[in-house]
Amino acid sequence: MTLKNHLTRWKKETLDPLLNRFSERRTDFKTSSEIPLPRLALPQDGGEEYLEKLGFPGEYPPPESG
């Protein structure tokens, strides 16, 4: 499964139910320089390593291998 597929699953299974229960504090977030911030920042490459080490917010961390 690719990082994009995991992101789609996370939005559907974790984020959407949460947003249905609780509204967001703001419609958008910006830095002090008015630069918009994404809801979730992900690496441009190395997605598999990201998933192995961190996972997504609101989910249990992946089990340690080794």
CB 22 within 8 A of CB 15: no
CB 30 within 8 A of CB 37: yes
- Give the C-alpha separation, 10 to 18, whole Å: 11
The answer to whether residue 65 scores a pLDDT higher than 80 is no
pLDDT, residue 46, reads 67
> In terms of pLDDT, which residue wins out, 27 or 46?
27
The answer to whether residue 66 scores a pLDDT higher than 60 is no
Please give the distance of CA 26 from its chain centroid, rounded to a whole number: 17
Longest dimension (CA), the chain: 44
pTM of the model: 0.74
For the stretch 3-38, pLDDT in tens is 888 899 999 999 999 999 998 888 899 999 999 999
